[in-house]
Amino acid sequence: VTDVQRPRRSPTSAELWTWREFIETVEALSWRLASRLQSESSLSQGDYQVLLALSEADGHRMRSSELAAVIGWERSRLSHHLGRMEKRGLVSRDPCAADGRGAEVVLAAHGSDCFRRATIPHLRAVRELFIDALTPEQLAAADDIAGTLRRHLDQSRESTRSLR
Amino acid sequence: VTDVQRPRRSPTSAELWTWREFIETVEALSWRLASRLQSESSLSQGDYQVLLALSEADGHRMRSSELAAVIGWERSRLSHHLGRMEKRGLVSRDPCAADGRGAEVVLAAHGSDCFRRATIPHLRAVRELFIDALTPEQLAAADDIAGTLRRHLDQSRESTRSLR
DNA sequence: CAAGATTGATAACTCAATCTTC
DNA sequence: GAAGATTGAGTTATCAATCTTG
């Protein structure tokens, strides 16, 4: 933690191989899950993320920008996406009582239905393609790695911010 | 390996938590790397993948469909993307001598320059955000997990195929 | 003027034709 | 007719305005 200033070696070829295998595999996995979700439940990954976040929210409703933060999207992307989901009857938007500028996104009944029906096959896919593929030890290691990477990312976001 | 037929429990909440943390973190990491690549080198991830594959190819040229297979894209996506890269002078396309139907994608001089200039900051980013974040043990575990997931994915692709 | 959110223009991705050559 | 590759139409993502309210 004290070597922040010192420039370091570039990655070895073994390290790079690990990196490429890791990122490409996870992307392939994510792609495969997205296809299954689409064909089994007619939802895109984006739809699912939005519906999941709303399902977990108090009163099945959230401020638009909070939703964007939770799922890690830019606001304009979310806004366009919500427009399409609204057309399909999955969500609706209400003006926010407390803050006249804001909007609240509400899970519609049809969205709730779609989400519930999608959940079982989707969790089955997650189990088949991820959880069952790994030993309990590997799963624990995955958890550890993800947590470490996440904290590192958050920290580096902070430090680049403070340089501005 | 003998329990293929038996339906199984749905994931525990701890397993799901691991899954979400894992996939979301990797996606955040990938997104962060893509932003850095774009701002530091004016290349998208797709551009980089194409340039990397061509740089590693014999004579800096490849058949179009082989390139698509290597980077795991659909042919039409690659074709559109190559059109845009060609406009920017990064690659060019030659008719293939051996097979009149085919096209060969060639790394242009400007593409080679851009790729070389992009490499150092990009590898630095990979090191900072991934390699240095993990201990050697975690890196080894990541390698193991990726390999296991990859084999599992390949295997499940095969078995769904044979059911048709 | 800053923050919340939407809009519009442009770029990129996907899917189903299409065209050419084997 | 099948394989290699491109094209076009429709959908989704991104970036820079824009509009409205605090």
Query: For residue A95, which nucleotide's C1' is closest to its Cα?
Result: C5
Per the confidence metrics, is the pTM higher than 0.85?
yes
Answer whether B126 sits within 8 Å of A11, measured CB to CB.
yes
Q: What is the Cα–Cα distance from A30 to A13, expressed in whole angstroms? A: 26
Stated as kind and residue range, the H or E segment containing B83 is helix B75-87
Structural tokens at position A53: 């976040």
The pLDDT of residue A164: 44
Answer whether B150 sits within 8 Å of A28, measured CB to CB.
yes
Q: What is the Cα–Cα distance from A125 to A29, expressed in whole angstroms? A: 10
Strands A91-95 vs A61-63: parallel, antiparallel or unpaired = unpaired
Distance linking the first and last C-alpha atoms of chain B: 21
The pLDDT of residue A158: 72
Judged by a CB distance cut-off of 8 A, whether residue B126 touches chain A is yes
B100 touches strand C (CB under 7 A): yes
Query: For residue A69, which nucleotide's C1' is closest to its Cα?
Result: C4
Q: What is the Cα–Cα distance from A24 to A92, expressed in whole angstroms? A: 36
Mean pLDDT by 10 residues, chain B (164 residues): 65 95 95 93 95 97 96 95 95 94 96 96 96 98 98 84 53
The pLDDT of residue A13: 94
List, for residues A83-110, the tens digit of each pLDDT value. Answer: 999 999 999 999 999 999 999 999 999 9
Query: Which residue minimizes Cα–C1' distance to D11?
Result: A84
Q: What is the Cα–Cα distance from A153 to B129, expressed in whole angstroms? A: 7
The pLDDT of residue B3: 56
List, for residues B42-74, the tens digit of each pLDDT value. Answer: 999 999 999 999 999 999 999 999 999 999 999
List, for residues A130-156, the tens digit of each pLDDT value. Answer: 999 999 999 999 999 999 999 999 888
Angle between helices A45-56 and A109-126 (to 10 degrees): 110
List, for residues A38-77, the tens digit of each pLDDT value. Answer: 999 999 999 999 999 999 999 999 999 999 999 999 999 9
